[in-house]
Structure 1
Amino acid sequence: MSHGWDTARERLGEMLDAAGRGMSSALVLRGGPGTGKTALLDRAAARDVRAVRVQGVEFEPELPFTGLGRLVLPVRDRLGGLPALPRRALERALGRTGGEERSSLVTAVLALLADLAEDAPLACLVDDAQWLDRASAEVLLRAARGLGAEGVVLLFAVRDGALADHGLPELRLEAPASSAGRAVREEAADLPEAARGMLLLAAIEATGDLDVLTRASGAEADALAPAEEAGMIEITGGRVCFPRPSVRAAVHGEASPEQRAAAHRALAVALDGPENADRRAWHRAAAATEPAEELATGLEDAAERARHRDGHWAASVAYTRAAELSETEPGRARRLLLAARRALAAGRPEHAAEQAEAAAKLRNDPRFGVRAAWAEGRARHRMGDFRAAYERCTERVEPDVELPDRMLIHAFHSAWHLDVPALKAVAARLEPLEDPVAEQQANIMGKRIPAFADSLVEGEPHGLIRMCGPALTAGYDLPVRDAMTRATDQLCVQDPLGPPAASFFFLAVAELFLGGHLEAAAILEDAFRVARDAGEPLWNSRLLAVRAVLAALEGREEECRTLVEAAREAAAPGAVPAGQAWTHWALGLLELGLNRPEAALEHLAILQEEPFAHHVCAVRSIPDLVEAAVQAGSPETAARPYTAFVRWRERYYVPWAWPLVHRCGALMTGEGKYYAGALVPQTRPFERARTELLYGEWLCGEGREAEGGEHLGLALEAFEGLRAAPWSSRARTALEAAGLPVPRPELPPAALLTPRELRVCRMAARGLSDRDIASRLLLSPRTVARHLYRAYPKLAVSGRGGLASLDL
């Protein structure tokens, strides 16, 4: 929706007033040139607040964290007051310290913003955000989503078409476009030649360092006085800045290509010293008109420095330009492949696939071809193009060139979304390998699975993530949950941008299977945010589909169907969505819970056929299919899946599945004796409650209403605590039909909290401090404290000490 100036001004005023009361918020102001975005930021800065500001620069080379550096520069004196880990994270990102130690940069930015807001509300203003370097933009956007109770307003002014799907509130401005560009050209034409030359240098060199500009131009600093008097620039603290972005663009656009090239060469000479090596390399490259190996080497060195600072996209851009400047095809191919790898690390798989494919065509070397195919295969997989990914990771370029084990392991992941023949083909090639992940994957399609629990006890986080898929397929839910809890905790603290979506996905799925529906919902919020930031349809589709499963369990029909559609749309053109199997389970559960067994059976039966029969949710949904088939009067349709479920349980011998086998047996035979085995003690509250419901219904049908009422009451209490509304309704209906009183169960503590409050309270109950929790959830400590203070009255406790005694 588009808004005018008055609406936008009112909205900003409300946000700044709330900041004065300690509340934080973020907003994206979107509009074309001349719609007043910068003026609104000026207005915010003029309020009774502390303001920090940064402006993206259209012509600045892609250097990691340069935008963040300009934001921090005026307040660098506050870094010393931050805790050690956030301080070192910021210093490392800004290139002020070396070393391999890594920690969360998002948490560090949140800590800095909270510190700056200690004395007065803080307005953090990002103008022309579409031109920020990618690393800075990612960190600031993620920090914006973690704001809560710091007294910070974070505003992004951005042009149309940029920062899509950012997950923040947005306000689009409509106003008449200005003719600033034409006016600037007229003003610049009247300036002395020295002023025009320095103005062009300032437009190109984003730091605005006045000493650099004077050295590059050979003129004195006062040569810029006419431009400053005309209001075209401002000079503060030895730096030149353009108060209006249109002025910089107009100055740059008015210059000829020859003038720009000369300016770049002059700046490259003026930017001496090792601290300016990256800017120097880019200015030299910008002035180049033909390949030059020396320039390519300089950019490759800049790319390596960017990589070590976790500026993966900046590294990819530098490698790509270095490839263009390479004098030989092998050199160009090598640098394109390096660009592809960094693009993949930066969450740009489409760019990585393009670069890897181009690299392979430039070099007729089988071993290099394997490396290029490996990079392209990973990129195609993350794009959701599983067929192409499988082919790249399994095809031999020459008979005597062996494929690395990791390529075949990855091919298995791609084949998972294709069909059983592809799975069996790659599993046969995995079986002889000694790699533990390869062994587990090969055994899924062959002999009995080894001990997954042992494999998930220890190991580095990314290795544990790779084990989770096979482990869930074998039913090892609790070891997966424990392993992913450790992995996400570590990666939240250690990785500058936090854990990958995969770790959150597996953690949420394990919680879902174990009956932790509320916890799973909170985890999925974080997971979806991470997947969206990474631009990966693979994880977007899966996460949306699992969210649909949770919506189905709670009976939110419209939301469930909306999530299903979104999950199916999040796929590469012509590819099967990664979450497709989960969407069938979601719809089946929805229909089953709403007492529409025929429709439920239709969806659940699909999961027992190709290409879904081998998926995790295909096996887990068999008890639902059995229930739907019996209620629909077609128990024969469940015979084959029921037999498959029994064999699966015997093969993997996971104790939690045995009660479900008995429950299915009770439904298939209609004999109550099976319920004795189905109601053994277990830690899966949702499945236990469903068994209580079915047994209670059976008992009432046998004329044993008093016994049945006890089980129906237990089911109702559990369903209420899990917010499983359709199942609660079914238990009430059964009680009423039997003429039995319907109890009003007391909700458990967890059911009183929001998903986010529940996660915070569970971590606090484990003994984690506010700062520890903040680092794991990418929040600020103040926001963590606010969640706790909101939760305490709901739980009838006075502080953290009371949480440990609650069953959360």
Structure 2
Amino acid sequence: MDGGNAAYRAVGRDGDGRGAGDVVVGRAAEVERISGLVDAIAGGGRLLVIAGAAGAGKSTLLDVAARAAGAAAYRVLRVSGRESERDLAFAGLHQLLRPVLSEAAALPDRQRRALLHALGSEPDAVPGATPETGYGAGPEAALGGRTASGGGPDLLLAGVAVLSLLSRLAGRSPVMVLVDDAQWLDAASADVLAFAARRLDDDPVGLLLAVRDGEPLPGFEPAYPTLALTPLGGEASGRLLDHHAPDLPRRVRDRILDQAAGNPLALLELAETAIADPGAVLRDEHGPLPVGERLAALYAARLAELPEAGRRALLLLAAADVADPPAAVLALLPAPDHTGPDHTGLDDKVRVAVEQSGLVRRTGRDLRFRHPLIRSAVYHAVPLDARLDAHRALAGALRGEPDRRAWHLAAATARPDAEVAAALERTAGRAMRRGGHAAAAKALARAAELHPEPGDSARLLVAAAGLAVLTGDLDWVEELAGQARARSDDPAVHAAAELHAGRLAALTGRHPAVFAGMARIAEDLAGTHPSIALDALTTAAVLRFYSGEESQRREIDRILPRVAVAPADEPLRDWVRMVSDPLGSRRELAARLPAMIAAAAGRPERLTALAIAAWLLDEIAPAVRAFDEAVRLWEGRGPLPDGLGGVTALAWLEYGRWEQARAVCAAIAALPATARSLHHARACAYAVDAMALAFQGDAAAARERADEALRLVDPLESRSVAVYARRALSAAAAVEGDYETAYEQVRAVFGHDGEPVHYHASYPALPELAAAAARTGRRAEAAGIVGRAARALARDGSPRLRALVRRSAALLAEPADAEPEFLAALAGPAPERRPFEHAQALLEYAEWLRRRRRIAEARPFLTAAHDTFRRLGARPWAERARAELRAAGLDVSAAEPAAFAELSPQQQQIVRLAARGLTNREIGERLFLSPRTVGSHLYRAFPKLGVTTRAQLRDLVAAAPPDEPFAGRYG
């Protein structure tokens, strides 16, 4: 707790000294808002962040909410963030859900297993280490971003489980979730709670979070409603002080009010001191009152007044924090002749002295500090040797809790100790199995500090940096990498450390500098450490794709032949070539891809890498199959690496799985606060999402996403993102009939000379360029660009790219010359694998036919295009096809009620999945919503669609794609 209960709650006293009632002074508006929120929960989810300085009264407001919720027969769940547990993965979630964990038995099996696994129910195991990194998956983990080292729970699936659990509880009575000291929640618990919070709109669940001013709120958006606790005003401060200490001399009272500056905790604590010794407040007339360090000194003074047994008890409590069982702590004290009635081992006199010290409060049979500042004051008020002895004693008492024991051993160790370092390594392994990458990295970093051998210390730091990559905290990764380099002269260690930092820095947009570092590593170690050199080139190839810089391809081509790798690493060498130069390598390597993908079975990192290569070579079907399998395997190992998710989204977007593509983009865009510097990763997600939104017809949202993508990056250093964003802006303009803007935007993905801005991303925009040019009188300019592309792709371009060139040529050709080009375009490979692209070609050819009055020939093409657009949710294109069908003499208005198009994109997704026969729970798991929210959306959609049963939806929504979308983590 943050001490707020003591901070501004004034307790009335009756004759026997017991509290007769709590009076909250100076916070009437805040209490009213809390009460209103509690009342509103029955109508749907509510969230409020209570922010204030330490001692401002956040805990008291949570108590107000708890009392109001209890009075209304709500279920109340509470968790208090603990500084000592912020490195223990899912500690907060365990504290919150422990009272209702039996309800998990009713969850779907995958959700239940994910939740219990996150809470540490599975046996401990330490994943194996690789020679290159100490922990991790080997060189292929460098292929563009974060990887998950070691098995661990799926955070999103755990989030779905919590969402389902809260929704289930809320089905019986509204639920109030109270989170105190949220700034100290462990990252895994914060992410899961934030995930659930964003999806409880329709469930009667309230979430109140108390956080200290100036502290980040991990996982939660800064835009959430916030109740800011400002300092109390003069009148309220006076009332609080008078209520608590009515007999203070005026001069003492004024001095306290002046120096407390409206901080309730300072008011009350200074008042307590003044009651005991009024002269203490006035001892220094010319200096400030002891609110900061001097306030801590007051706590230390109280500590010194206690008997030795009492001081030792509080020191142990301070060293242990409230997380450790008080019985295990107090059992360490010297046993008196007889124990007190609470069986703590303290005699009555010592126990009374401790409780009357004002430093602690009793909660049931347990002692708790009244404020974290008190704990800090007690802890630092004793010499270092005493603190070390306390941690050693706690470590001895906690043999049954190996993780906490390891941290206490580390805190008790002032010099190198290999055994303690080994205990922390084991703790890191257990944290990794639970998906606690940040906790594991911190354990390894501390183990490195304690290891007596510099080489092992450097190894542990490299491993810690590799795990820290998964947190997205680039500053931390670079700090760990720098420490590793400082502890070793081994070039391989230096390179491995720099590689970890480079993998994450690649997602920031600092592409030229990071590429230069990767190229230098590859060149320096090509002969002595070829595996590391190749690893560096994989990151360099990713950077080449991000930037589209031609000079980087030449640099990779220069270094790659010098790296003599083992036969087992030849696929990785091929991968570098495919990514950095897909046109130049396609003819040689495309035929080898199926065998390479088959050989990678069971290895998600390599499968994902090969899926990227297949996508770059326009082998979309094997790419999607490999992505599906990789995501399935990733489910038990943590989140999909951010650097790879953007390409996964692009592949699914092309394949017609728009819902899945947007889910991936949403996951990447919602990076935690520590990863906010990964601008390129977020920009890519925004750009791809913008394309999907434009295709669905939401032009305003598409522009917003695309503009944000362009704001986050330098278009000259992140050309791939710039191209996708421009394509989205062009499509959005076309949706609104603004073809001038559409042409200007898509023209920007080609240079002044007609060369593509990006060697891979630009070419698919050719038909969009041609279509806009045909409507704006820019045929000649566009034809020049299309002709240049035709020559560049004649030999090495994929069949898909050559078909796009023919389609573009058809749109720009004279009427008499267009039909052969249209037919060649429609004869391209496997049209069902890129349904939107193919349906556009069908529509364009059908429009050409109808203008030639070949109406009977146009009808089948129009019908096929219309059905595809409707199935995908491409509303503007479906309306355009429907208008053409009407012009061709076919009435299709009954096939798709206009009301369906008026549903929100999320409602359309829910209705489509319901039409396939999925239950509310299954839909919620796919879209990361609670079953209650799904039901609420369907309840509102049914009257709009004019249906009363789910079976009727099948008549309104087209069937699912022939290739059933993967119902996994992003599905």
The TM-score bracket by the shorter chain reads 0.7 to 0.9
Cα separation, 2, equivalents of 1:777 and 1:556: 19
What amino acid is the match of 1:756?
Answer: Q
Q: 2:218, 2:673 within 8 Å by CA — same for their partners in 1?
A: no
Shift in Å, 1:129: 0.8
Q: Which secondary structure does the structure 2 equivalent of 1:369 belong to?
A: helix
| Deviation of 1:284 (Å) | 3.7
Q: What is the deviation of 1:141?
A: 1.9
Q: Quick one: structure 1 residues 303 and 13, their matched pair in 2 at CA, closer, same or farther if it must change by over 3 Å?
A: same
Q: CA deviation at 1:529?
A: 2.9
Give the C-alpha shift of residue 402 in structure 1.
1.6
Decide whether the 8 Å contact of 1:531 with 1:539 is kept in 2.
Answer: no
After superposition, the C-alpha distances for 1:752-802 in whole angstroms (9 at most, x for unaligned) are 654334444555566665555544444444444545555556666666666
**1:478-493 alignment, distance < 5 Å:** 478-488=621-631, 491-492=634-635
In structure 2, what residue type is equivalent to 1:390? Answer: F
2:375 is aligned with 1:240? no
Quote how far apart the aligned CAs of 1:44 are.
1.8
Q: 2:326 aligns with which of 194, 210, 222?
A: 210
Distance 1:489 1:723, change over 3 A: same
The alpha-carbon deviation at position 128 of structure 1 amounts to 0.9
1:192 aligned residue (287, 300, 306)? 306
The Cα offsets for residues 694-723 of structure 1, whole Å up to 9 and x where unpaired, read as 557767877999999999999899878877
Q: Does 1:450 align with 2:559?
A: no
Q: Distance in 2 between matches of 1:762 and 1:729?
A: 18
Taking a change above 3 Å as real, the CA distance of residues 427 and 759 of structure 1, as seen in their structure-2 partners, is farther
Query: CA offsets, 1:296-327, max 9 Å, x none?
Result: 44433333332233221112112222333344
Write the distance in 2 (CA, Å) between the matches of 1:78 and 1:712: 53
Q: Call closer, same or farther: CA 1:19–1:369 in 2, change over 3 Å.
A: same
Q: What secondary structure, in the 3-state scheme, does the structure 2 residue paired with 1:156 have? A: strand
How much has 1:183 moved relative to structure 2? 3.9
- The 1:513–1:735 alpha-carbon spacing in structure 2 relative to 1, beyond 3 Å, is same
Q: Does 1:158 align with 2:211?
A: yes
Amino acid at match of 2:721: G
- Deviation by residue 1:444-465 (Cα, 9 ceiling, x = unmatched): 1423151457766865444332
Larger displacement relative to structure 2 (280-289 or 430-439): 430-439
Q: Which residue of 2 aligns with 1:513?
A: 654
Instruction: Give the residue type in structure 2 aligned to 1:300.
Output: E
Q: Distance in 1 between matches of 2:822 and 2:583?
A: 32
| Residue 172 of structure 1, CA deviation | 3.7
Kindly state the Cα deviation for residue 734 of structure 1 after the two structures are TM-superposed: 10
309-318 or 417-426: which moved more? Answer: 417-426
Is 1:258 equivalent to 2:382 in the alignment?
yes
Partner of 1:322: 447
CA distance in 1: counterparts of 2:877 and 2:103, whole angstroms: 54
Deviation at 1:102, TM superposition (A): 5.2
What is the alpha-carbon distance in structure 2 between the residues aligned to residue 115 and residue 593 of structure 1? 42
Structure 1 pair 196–78 and aligned structure 2 pair: CA distance change class (3 A): farther
Check whether the contact 2:697–2:875 (CA below 8 A) recurs between aligned residues: yes
Of residues 122, 130, 138 in structure 2, which corresponds to 1:97?
122
User: Of 545, 548, 554, which residue of structure 1 is paired with 2:687?
Assistant: 545
**Counterparts of 2:951 and 2:794 in 1: how far apart (Å)?**
41
Amino acid at match of 1:178: N
Matched, 1:665 2:810: yes
1:524 corresponds in structure 2 to 665
In 2, Cα distance between the equivalents of 1:228 and 1:697?
A: 86
SS in 2 for 1:98: coil
Q: Structure 1 residue 330: deviation in Å?
A: 2.8
Q: Distance in 1 between matches of 2:171 and 2:742?
A: 55
- Tell me the residue number matched to 1:56: 81
Find the aligned partners of 2:864 and 2:941 in 1 and give their Cα distance: 26
| Contact 1:522 1:755 (C-alpha < 8 Å) held by counterparts | no
Q: 1:756 aligns with which of 890, 896, 906?
A: 906
> Residues 22-74 of structure 1, C-alpha deviation per residue, up to 9 Å, x if partnerless?
x4343333333344432222122112322121111235562222222322344
Asked whether the equivalents of residues 412 and 427 of structure 1 are also in contact (C-alpha less than 8 Å), the reply is: no
Structure 1 equivalent of residue 896 of structure 2: 747
Q: Deviations over 1:722-761 (max 9, x none)?
A: 776776898899999x999999675379746543344445
* Unmatched tracts of structure 2, length 5 or more: 1-25, 126-150, 232-261, 274-298, 336-344, 960-971
Amino acid at match of 1:410: T
Q: Name the residue aligned to 1:20.
A: 42
Describe the shift of the 1:268–1:73 C-alpha distance in structure 2 as closer, same or farther (beyond 3 A).
farther
Identify the match of residue 761 of structure 2 among 617, 624, 627: 617
Indicate which of 180, 196, 205 corresponds to 2:265: 180
What TM-score do the two structures reach when normalised by structure 2? Answer: 0.71
Worse-superposed segment, 536-545 or 66-75: 66-75
- Is 1:387 the counterpart of 2:512 in the alignment? yes
Instruction: Tell which deviates more after alignment, 268-277 or 253-262.
Output: 253-262
Give the whole-Å Cα distance in 1 for the aligned partners of 2:181 and 2:686.
31
Looking at structure 1, the residues matched to 758 and 717 of structure 2 have their Cα atoms a distance apart, in angstroms, of 18
Q: Is the 8 A contact 1:480 1:506 kept in 2?
A: no
Which residue of structure 1 aligns with residue 288 of structure 2? none
- Which amino acid counterpart does residue 213 of structure 1 have in structure 2? V
Contact persistence 1:24–1:153 (CA under 8 A): yes
Aligned pairs for 1:175-574 within 5 A: 175-176=230-231, 177-181=262-266, 183-184=268-269, 186=272, 188=299, 189=301, 192-193=306-307, 194-206=309-321, 207-218=323-334, 220-221=345-346, 223-226=350-353, 228=355, 233-236=360-363, 238-242=365-369, 247-253=371-377, 255-256=379-380, 258-259=382-383, 262-263=386-387, 265-271=389-395, 272-394=397-519, 395=521, 396-398=523-525, 399-404=527-532, 405-418=534-547, 419-426=549-556, 435-436=570-571, 438-443=573-578, 444-447=582-585, 448=587, 449-451=589-591, 459-488=602-631, 491-492=634-635, 494-495=636-637, 497-501=638-642, 505-514=646-655, 520-521=661-662, 524-529=665-670, 535=676, 536-553=678-695, 558-571=700-713
Q: Which letter does structure 2 place at the counterpart of 1:581?
A: V
Pair 1:637 & 2:781 matched: yes
DSSP 3-state at the match of 2:466: helix
Letter in 2 for 1:408: L
CA distance in 2, matches of 1:797, 1:12: 40
Moved more, 11-20 or 153-162: 11-20
CA distances 1:76-122 after superposition (whole Å, capped 9, x unpaired):
55555655554444444344431677544323333443454454222
Supply the distance in 2 between the matched residues of 1:81 and 1:705 (Cα, whole angstroms). Answer: 58
1:477-511: CA deviations, max 9, x gaps?
4444454445445544x34x544446653453234
* Residues 717 and 747 in structure 1, CA contact (< 8 A), matched pair in contact too: no
Could you tell me whether the CA contact under 8 Å between 2:499 and 2:518 is conserved in 1?
yes
Aligned equivalents of 2:28, 2:761: Cα separation in 1: 51
Question: For residues 685-764 of structure 1, what are the structure 2 equivalents within 5 Å?
Answer: 686-687=836-837, 690-691=840-841, 694=844, 747=896, 751=901, 753-760=903-910
Q: Which residue of 2 aligns with 1:69?
A: 94
C-alpha distance in 1 between matches for 2:481 and 2:198:
33
Give the letter aligned to residue 604 of structure 1. V
CA contact 2:469–2:501 (8 Å) conserved in 1? no
The offset of 1:466, in angstroms, is 1.9
Pair 145,663 (structure 1): closer, same or farther in 2 beyond 3 Å: same
Q: CA RMSD in A?
A: 4.4
Larger Rg: 2
Report the secondary structure of 2:584's partner residue: coil
Does the 8 A contact of 1:622 with 1:642 survive in 2? yes
SS in 2 for 1:124: strand
SS of the residue corresponding to residue 478 of structure 2 reads helix
Q: How many Å apart are 1:582 and its aligned residue?
A: 1.5
Give the CA deviation at 1:525. 3.2
> Which shifted more, 366-375 or 474-483?
474-483
Task: Give the whole-Å Cα distance in 1 for the aligned partners of 2:950 and 2:884.
Answer: 41
Residues 795 and 733 of structure 1: CA distance in aligned 2, closer, same or farther (over 3 Å): closer
CA offset digits 1:199-226 (Å, max 9, x no partner): 3433442315221331344473454445
CA distance in 2 between partners of 1:285 and 1:712 (Å) = 71
Q: Kindly provide the amino acid, as one letter, of the partner of residue 617 in structure 1.
A: A
